[in-house]
Amino acid sequence: QVQLVQSGAEVMKPGASLKVSCKASGYTFTGFYIHWVRQAPGQGLEWVGWINPNSGGTNSAQKFQGRVTVTRDTSISTAYMELSRLSSDDTAIYYCARGMAVGTAVDYMDVWGKGTTVTVSS
Amino acid sequence: DIQMTQSPSSLSASLGDRVTITCRASQSISTSLNWYQQRPGKAPKLLIYATSTLQNGVPSRFSGSGSGTDFTLTISSLQPDDFATYYCLQTYSARTFGHGTKVEVK
């Protein structure tokens, strides 16, 4: 079945960089966008960015530009989100989600990973 | 960036009630609007995309409407599984979630 399996929980120091992975299975990895969404404790959902696994093209929310890098390794059907210069405000659950099919116009996030809990603390 | 204003932030309702949640975009987003349900400790679940298209497997008591800047999610008859938090998401330009609506037991 279609699933996204994320890497395990992380405890990070302020100022460090974080890298979370998201391994896709059950579908053609290069055929669908991958989004990254985060949720701080007790807060709402916040979109971080996306990658087109076919082309490698990316986009991210303005507040993260310059600090987030989304990449992929098509040989192992895995997407990555790297976030630099961490602060306590980056403490959150980070989700990856499958987006729209490449080349189509109707967009949604239909399959989600279980989330990766990231704690930033000195 | 497009801002999404979702209301109410919370509501109390009883089983069988009709529930309506709204989202307003800061500019026209055509029909590029999705709705998600999130239960505590779980990942969000897609309910509706492109304003009114029900995702496979989602009960027909959920419906969506709107266009341009104003959108509505309606639950026609609230069921036990529906007590959760609901989010809208605009997909017109970049992506922006609404702040969520928590549906609680009255």
Which positions in chain A have a beta carbon within 8 angstroms of at least one beta carbon in chain B? 35, 37, 44-47, 50, 59, 61-62, 95, 97, 106-110, 112-115
Q: What is the pLDDT of residue A106?
A: 84
Stretch B89-103: mean pLDDT, rounded?
97
Two tokens, residue A84: 């630099």
Two tokens, residue B41: 């400790």
Q: What is the pLDDT of residue B25?
A: 98
CA-CA distance, B4 to A24, in Å (whole number)? 30
Q: Does the N-terminal peptide bond of residue B8 adopt cis geometry, omega within 30 degrees of 0?
A: yes
Q: What is the pLDDT of residue A103?
A: 86
Given a contact cutoff of 8 angstroms between Cβ atoms, the answer to whether A59 and A47 are in contact is no
Longest dimension (CA), chain B: 38
| Mutation site for A-interface testing, chosen from B35, B58, B92, B95 by largest number of A Cβ within 10 Å | B95
Q: What is the pLDDT of residue A105?
A: 82
Q: What is the pLDDT of residue A104?
A: 85
pLDDT tens digits along B39-88:
999 999 999 999 999 999 999 999 999 999 999 999 999 999 999 999 99
Q: Is B30 on the interface with A (CB under 8 A)?
A: no
Look at A44 and B1 and tell me if their CB atoms are within 8 Å. no
Q: Which residues of A66-82 are buried (b: 16+ CB within 10 A; e: fewer)?
A: eebbbebeeeebbbbbe
CA-CA distance, A15 to B56, in Å (whole number)? 43
Given a contact cutoff of 8 angstroms between Cβ atoms, the answer to whether A94 and A8 are in contact is no
pLDDT tens digits along B1-50:
999 999 999 999 999 999 999 999 999 999 999 999 999 999 999 999 99
| Mutation site for B-interface testing, chosen from A3, A50, A109 by largest number of B Cβ within 10 Å | A109
Residue B79 phi, psi dihedral angles, 5° rounding: -115, 165
pLDDT in tens, chain A (122 residues): 999 999 999 999 999 999 999 999 999 999 999 999 999 999 999 999 999 999 999 999 999 999 999 999 999 999 999 999 999 999 999 999 999 988 888 899 999 999 999 999 99
Stretch B94-99: mean pLDDT, rounded?
97
What is the DSSP track for chain A?
--EEEEPPPEEE-TT--EEEEEEEESS-GGGEEEEEEEE-TT--EEEEEEE-TTT--EEE-GGGTTTEEEEEEGGGTEEEEEE-S--GGG-EEEEEEEEEETT-S-----EE---EEEEE--
Q: What is the pLDDT of residue A67?
A: 97
